[in-house]
Amino acid sequence: EPEVTQTPSHQVTQMGQEVILRCVPISNHLYFYWYRQILGQKVEFLVSFYNNEISEKSEIFDDQFSVERPDGSNFTLKIRSTKLEDSAMYFCASSVSSPLHFGNGTRLTVT
Amino acid sequence: QQQVKQSPQSLIVQKGGIPIINCAYENTAFDYFPWYQQFPGKGPALLIAIRPDVSEKKEGRFTISFNKSAKQFSLHIMDSQPGDSATYFCAASGGGSRLTFGEGTQLTVNP
Domain locations in chain B? 4-80
- pLDDT at A109 > cutoff 90: yes
Cis peptide before A8 (omega within 30 of 0): yes
Which residue type is seen at A30?
Answer: L
- The average confidence (pLDDT) of chain A is 94
Whether A1 has a pLDDT exceeding 90, the answer reads: no
Expressed in angstroms, the distance from the first to the final Cα of chain A is 36
**Which architecture characterizes domain A5-110 according to CATH?**
Sandwich (2.60)
β-bridge pairing A106-110 and A10-13: parallel
* CATH homologous superfamily, domain B4-80: Immunoglobulins (2.60.40.10)
Segments making up each domain of chain A, as ranges: 5-110
What region, left, alpha or beta, does residue A96 occupy, with left being phi > 0 and alpha being psi -120 to 50 degrees? alpha
H helix runs in chain B, sequence order: none
Tens of pLDDT, residues A65-85: 999 998 878 999 999 999 999
Q: Does B50 touch chain A (CB under 8 A)?
A: no
Residue B21 CA to residue A75 CA, distance in Å, equals 34
- How many residues are present in chain B? 111
Tell me if chain A has a CB within 8 Å of the CB of B30.
no
| Distance, CA of B50 to chain centre | 10
pLDDT of residue B1: 62
Nearest CB among B97, B99, B102 relative to A100 is that of B99
Contact present, A80 and A18 (Cβ < 8 Å): yes
- By C-alpha distance, the chain A residue nearest B41 is A104
For B1-45, the pLDDT digits (tens) are 679 999 999 999 999 999 999 999 999 999 999 999 999 989 999
Residues of A in contact with B32 (CB under 8 A): 98
Letter string b/e over residues B71-82, b meaning 16 or more CB atoms within 10 A of that residue's CB: bebbbbbeebee
CB contact under 8 A, B46 and A101: yes
